[in-house]
Amino acid sequence: MAHSKGLWLRWSWRDLRSRWLQVAAIALIIALGSGTYAGLSGYTQWRRQNYPASYQALNTHDIRVATTKGTTVPEGTLLGSLDQLEHPEWLAGAEERLIVPTQVDASAAGSTILVPGEIVGVDVTGGGPDIDQVHVMRGRAVDEGDITESRVVLDYHFAEHHGLPPTGELTLSGGRTVDYVGLGFTPDYFMVTTEQGSLLAEAGFAVMFAPLQTAQELAERPEQVNELVLTLREGVDLDAATAEVERWMDRVHPGLAAEVTPIDEERLYRLLLDDIDGDQKLFRIFALLILGGAAFAAFNLTGRIVEAQRREIGIGMSLGLSRWRIAVRPLLVGLQIALLGVVLGAGVGLVVGSLLSDLHESFLPLPVWEAPLQPGAFLSGIALGLGLVFAATVYPVWRAVRVDPVDAIATGPRSTRGSGVAPLLRRIPVPGSSIAQFPLRNVLRSPRRTALTAFGIAAAIAVLVAVIGMVDSFLSTIDKGEADILGPTPERVNVTLDFFYPTDAEQVQAISEVEGVAAAEPGLALGGSLVDGSEGDIDVFIQLIDFDNELWTPTPVEGSLETESPSVVISEKAAADLGVEPGDTVTLRHPRREGLVDYSFVESELPVSAIHPNPYRFMLYMDLDDAALMNLEGIVNTVAVEPEPGVSGDEMKRALFGRDGVAAVEPVADVAGTLEDAMEDALGFLDVVRGAVLVLALLIAFNSTSISADERAREHATMLAFGVRPRTVLLTEMGESLIIGVLATLLGIGLGRLIITWLVRVLLPSTMPDITVWIDVAPATYLTAAVMGVVAVSIAPLLTIRRLRRMDIPSALRVVE
Amino acid sequence: MAMIELEGVARRFETGAGRVSALTDVDLRVDTGEFVVVLGPSGSGKTTLLNLIGALDSPTEGVARVAGRDLTQASRSELFEYRRESVSFVFQTFNLFPGLTALENVRFGADVAGVDDAPAVAERVLVDVGLGDRAAHFPAQLSGGEQQRVAIARALATGNEVLLADEPTGELDFQTGVQILELLRADAERGAAVLVVTHNREISRIADRVVELSGGRVVSDGPPPEGRKPVSDLHW
């Protein structure tokens, strides 16, 4: 019996050796599938471990209390009243800080870097801050010695993006200069975001971490703060503590409008952590599709190996071997190919993981990033690779051992009788000469084989279309948002004021008088939320602008801007999430001025007057006349400026930079550009998938062609014997590949579209609730799919030209079987 | 008129074990309309001889001239042209295209040879071999004898002057074999030079000439000892 086992194994090795090229190709396909799966899953594990660890390493706050935009309170007001909490013992730490907008000029020789930003003033006494510590990547941190010296730490992301040195000088709004002594970031800036929703916005947003006193002095807000951050003792319930802080604010500081936000509702925190699960779903789908393609390819190969062994199986049957024993040899072949594939897959997984790890460190540096081997991810990749591929070999083997021995040992064309629809398909009349008929005839004569090959290639194309199509859709969504924001005045510049000012204040009026300014429209920008009882509130960025102004107004896709009473214009996404349409009422939670500098949050029932097409859910517009609702009639904190013809955005920035009252100046076109840059950076991982998919499709195509070349050796020899030139033989093969390629491409594109539809309609609403993504696959993507699926697959037979030219025709003709 | 002329032809193969001579110093002439049977045991060089005449292989020595072409001097491109326009094959294992019907397989031969009105010629030849009613059948739906008749029809449809048959009855029963030989014989009578390679000595009785090979050499060349017999005289 031991001898018998050894024989089966040796025999299977000979089978593998005789088809080593296809075996190697199929193993590579499995390696790509299982390796990509393992690599992507391992990456997810790293993120799951390193994100919380990074937050913990910098002692990130648990609760943030932020006063209404533009307002401040005297230092110590909040901190000093914490003993009035119901459970002050729940707190592990508390710090006040001041965050103020500014404009930063980091221009170096030859390049203008003039961007909005903010100064984060933190308590540096005793080596602080203790909460939300600054992680210094280069240079040094700021300390008490820097308080009087106007020294800051510059955001690492911004400096890296612009290639700034670790130390240097910056000019801020009002012409003040500061020295930065190092580059770093805090947990709030693990990824740079802006109020307008931009992610990875480091190119156009400069954050500086300064001693609190320095920030107060630079902002001309002496002894003022606008944030309180709290950490809780271990075991304290975050929700209970948040509720208690809210009650404390209402009770102890009734006139102070402030947002109390637990860490798990912080936008960036949520984005980063929720993103892991969303990405993992996406990764799993792509990896499973790749594995699916690999399984089809394995199925194809094993099926053909078994087909080639059909007579031997018949001989075995006639010698009385049981079906199980006959099945051992092809199953061993399948198992060994799968094993080889997953072993190689471990290597591919390491490469994919390493690429992703490097990519992650470049676009999202964290204080803690460890990337150890993830045995779980690799084991599941191996198990999936082995399981899927082995399962794929079982069916053809089972099918082969079920035939009657008399059929199995039949020789020649009789043995390729076919079943199912094959005989019917072969009857389809095909025009043209007999040689011209070959490609279609070959496709039709074995529809199962054709379908399997097409499915394998289609799986790869589906992944490609889904991956690139998703990127296209994101970019198209950004373009749509950009088109909406730019409107008829794409050169427009948004000026953020450093405080609320009366419309007729000197600071506001002066802006319209700046040289190069053609028109200026004041407005209000406030934070708020749309109250949604079922799904939780929707954070919104309320912009109040004069709906009769000539610079820019939202473009309603439904409803109208002409209304009598206060109303809101909301995004399509917000309308869909709230289930409202123009004429319906929504509840807007917004700030309301209670005194000179006191604000409270109130809820107002407002009709929806129109829906705007901007893809960002949080964009909400109101007429400036409705500012009375906030008790801010005649008060503004933004100004939209249209430069005169010929005046560039940069020139406008320079002209407005340093003006009294101006905190930040940003051309509206830069917002969209930032998003696009960010998207391209963040989607780098898709390039890894794209590369894997391209290789996969070519391998499947090559494998399929190579197997066909083996199977059709006799037919090719016959053609050559009749004087048909090798290039004509090759053309018939290419014609067949072309037909399969077209079928596979159409199928792959269809599947890819289905995947994108699923991702956009099912996955994205939960992982990216703030944005509407429209499915918009670029023609170039279809072209890539067509090139890969049709052209690459069609030319794959060229790889067999050498074999064809060197064919031993007499030997091939005399092969019995 | 000589259709096939071999002078001092030799074919040697380099193998791992050394040099093997499959043919040595072979002289052979086959005229138009001649039906020649090449006899010999396994390994005598019969198939190698056929391959050289069919330009599927090249001699290592000597000159092979077929249908007015010197195969030893011809370029690769000319050899392909020669195979298309001058020679046709019938194989022991039929080598039909499983994806084409009987008629399409026959038409393949006519198409490749550039025969005018190939569809009509293919149809006619298929009727000639007695398979007019099986035109739409695929090889898998035909018996061995029918498949071989389709293979002969494919060769005949080329209209080429030389027909080479390698053990054409080797896979067939007696009755079917006889049918096949009748078809080959008829082709010779139409003017083709037909060379049949076989180890079945009985077939040599219907030949105009019998060439016997042994150890790669021609050991005899002449008409059958008892004179040419009709196909109906055969039995095995």
DSSP of A67-103, one letter per residue?
EPTT--EETTTTGGGGGGSS-GGGEEEEEEEEEEEEE
Taking residues B112-127, what's their average pLDDT?
A: 92
Residue A664 forms part of a structural domain:
no
Residue A273: which pLDDT band, with cuts at 50, 70 and 90?
confident
Number of domains in chain B: 1
At B20-49, the pLDDT tens digits run 899 999 999 999 999 999 999 988 999 899
Taking residues B120-144, what's their average pLDDT?
A: 91
Same structural domain for residues A141 and A37?
A: no
Same structural domain for residues A290 and A252?
A: no
Same structural domain for residues A343 and A288?
A: yes
Residue A414: which pLDDT band, with cuts at 50, 70 and 90?
very low
Q: B160: distance to nearest CA of chain A, Å?
A: 11
Q: Look at residue A236 and tell me whether its pLDDT is greater than 60.
A: yes
Q: Would you state the structure tokens that stand for residue A596, as one six-digit string?
A: 């000179």
Domain boundary residue among A596, A614, A647? A647
Contact A814 B81 (CB under 8 A): no
Q: What whole-number percentage of chain A has pLDDT above 70?
A: 90
3-state secondary structure of A773: coil
Residue A53 forms part of a structural domain:
yes
Q: Look at residue A410 and tell me whether its pLDDT is greater than 60.
A: no
Per-residue H/E/C for A558-597: EECCCCCCCCEEEEHHHHHHHCCCCCCEEEEEEEEECCCC
Contact B84 A441 (CB under 8 A): no
Q: What pLDDT score was predicted for residue A413? A: 43
Contact B140 A416 (CB under 8 A): yes
Q: Look at residue B70 and tell me whether its pLDDT is greater than 90.
A: yes
Q: ∠ CA(B81), CA(B87), CA(B91), 5° rounding?
A: 120
Considering Cα of A281, then A287, then A291, then A296, what sign does the dihedral take?
Answer: positive
Same structural domain for residues A507 and A643?
A: yes
At A47-79, the pLDDT tens digits run 999 999 999 999 999 999 999 877 899 999 999
A172-181, A424-433, B72-81, B199-208: least confident range: A424-433
Same structural domain for residues A621 and A533?
A: yes
Residue B156 forms part of a structural domain:
yes
Residue B88: which pLDDT band, with cuts at 50, 70 and 90?
very high
A321-325, A728-732, B52-56: least confident range: A321-325
Same structural domain for residues A51 and A169?
A: no
Contact B54 A721 (CB under 8 A): yes
Taking residues A158-185, what's their average pLDDT?
A: 91
At A505-524, the pLDDT tens digits run 998 999 988 989 999 999 99
Residue A674 forms part of a structural domain:
no
Q: Any idea what the CATH number is for the domain that residue B38 is in?
A: 3.40.50.300
Residue B20 forms part of a structural domain:
no
Ranges of H-type helices in A233-374: 238-252, 267-308, 310-318, 323-363
Residue B6 forms part of a structural domain:
no
Beta-carbon neighbour count of residue B16 at 10 Å? 4
Domain boundary residue among A631, A647, A663? A647
- Determine contact: B158 vs chain A, CB below 8 A: yes
Residue A466 forms part of a structural domain:
no
Q: What whole-number percentage of chain B has pLDDT above 90?
A: 63
Computed on alpha carbons and rounded to an integer, the radius of gyration of chain A in Å comes to: 33
Same structural domain for residues A209 and A233?
A: yes
Residue B101 forms part of a structural domain:
yes
Query: Using an 8 Å Cβ cutoff, are A142 and A151 in contact?
Result: yes
Same structural domain for residues A175 and A147?
A: yes
Residues sharing a CB contact under 8 Å with residue A259, sequence separation 6 or more, in sequence order: A64, A65, A66, A68, A527, A601
Q: Would you state the structure tokens that stand for residue B180, as one six-digit string?
A: 């096949």
Residues sharing a CB contact under 8 Å with residue A697, sequence separation 6 or more, in sequence order: A293, A457, A460, A461, A464, A788, A789, A792, A793
Nearest CA in chain B to A407: B140
Same structural domain for residues A351 and A203?
A: no
Peptide bond into A129 cis (omega under 30): yes
Partner residue facing A434 (CB), from B83, B104, B140: B104
Same structural domain for residues A53 and A80?
A: no
Environment class of residue A680 by beta-carbon count within 10 Å: exposed (0-12), middle (13-18) or buried (19+)? middle
Taking residues A75-103, what's their average pLDDT?
A: 94
Q: What pLDDT score was predicted for residue B147? A: 92
At A598-656, the pLDDT tens digits run 677 889 999 999 999 888 888 999 999 999 999 999 999 999 999 999 888 778 888 88
Q: What pLDDT score was predicted for residue A616? A: 84
- Determine contact: A806 vs chain B, CB below 8 A: no
Number of Cβ pairs closer than 8 Å across A and B?
104
How far the first Cα of chain A sits from its last, in Å, is: 31
Q: What whole-number percentage of chain A has pLDDT above 90?
A: 34
Partner residue facing B147 (CB), from A413, A418, A724: A413
Q: What pLDDT score was predicted for residue A416? A: 47
Q: Look at residue A679 and tell me whether its pLDDT is greater than 90.
A: no
> Which among B120, B98, B96 is positioned nearest to B107, based on CA atoms?
B120
Residue A736 forms part of a structural domain:
no
> Which among B81, B135, B90, B74 is positioned nearest to B113, based on CA atoms?
B81
Contact B84 A724 (CB under 8 A): yes
Mean pLDDT of chain A: 84
Query: Which one has a higher pLDDT value, B139 or A814?
Result: B139
- Containing domain of residue B128, as a range? 33-57+75-233
Q: What pLDDT score was predicted for residue A481? A: 81
A188-197, A387-396, A678-687, A716-725: least confident range: A678-687
Number of domains in chain A: 3
Q: What pLDDT score was predicted for residue A140? A: 95
Contact B91 A813 (CB under 8 A): yes
At A275-320, the pLDDT tens digits run 787 777 777 777 777 777 777 777 776 777 777 777 677 777 766 6
Query: Which one has a higher pLDDT value, A561 or B171?
Result: A561
Q: Look at residue B158 and tell me whether its pLDDT is greater than 90.
A: yes
Contact B99 A725 (CB under 8 A): no
- Determine contact: B220 vs chain A, CB below 8 A: no
Q: What pLDDT score was predicted for residue A816? A: 45
Nearest CA in chain A to B88: A722
- Determine contact: B111 vs chain A, CB below 8 A: yes
- Containing domain of residue A194, as a range? 69-256
Nearest CA in chain A to B48: A810
Q: Write out chain A residues lying below 8 Å of B99, CB-based.
A: 426, 438, 441-442, 444-445
Contact A413 B81 (CB under 8 A): no
Residue A540 forms part of a structural domain:
yes
Partner residue facing B112 (CB), from A416, A715, A723: A723
Q: How many helices (H) and strands (E) does chain B have?
A: 6, 10
Residue A434 forms part of a structural domain:
no
> Which among A177, A78, A291, A129 is positioned nearest to A657, based on CA atoms?
A177
At A590-609, the pLDDT tens digits run 988 877 666 778 899 999 99
Residue B108 forms part of a structural domain:
yes
Amino acid at A5: K
> Which among B198, B218, B194 is positioned nearest to B6, based on CA atoms?
B218
Q: Look at residue A4 and tell me whether its pLDDT is greater than 60.
A: no
Same structural domain for residues A23 and A2?
A: yes
| Distance between CA atoms of residues B92 and A309, nearest Å | 22
Query: Which one has a higher pLDDT value, A674 or A217?
Result: A217
At A725-754, the pLDDT tens digits run 988 999 998 998 899 889 999 999 999 999
Taking residues A113-135, what's their average pLDDT?
A: 91
Amino acid at A511: I
Taking residues A705-718, what's their average pLDDT?
A: 80
Residue B25 forms part of a structural domain:
no
Q: Look at residue A785 and tell me whether its pLDDT is greater than 90.
A: no
Query: Which one has a higher pLDDT value, A309 or A217?
Result: A217
Partner residue facing A723 (CB), from B83, B95, B100: B83
Per DSSP, what are the bridge partners of residue A605? A587
Residue B212: which pLDDT band, with cuts at 50, 70 and 90?
very high
Same structural domain for residues A528 and A394?
A: no
Residue A486 forms part of a structural domain:
no
Cα B173 from chain centroid (whole Å): 19
Taking residues A106-132, what's their average pLDDT?
A: 86
Q: Look at residue A815 and tell me whether its pLDDT is greater than 60.
A: no
Q: ∠ CA(A540), CA(A544), CA(A547), 5° rounding?
A: 125
> Which among A170, A27, A175, A176 is positioned nearest to A105, based on CA atoms?
A170
Residue B50 forms part of a structural domain:
yes
| Distance between CA atoms of residues B151 and A615, nearest Å | 69
Residue B14 forms part of a structural domain:
no
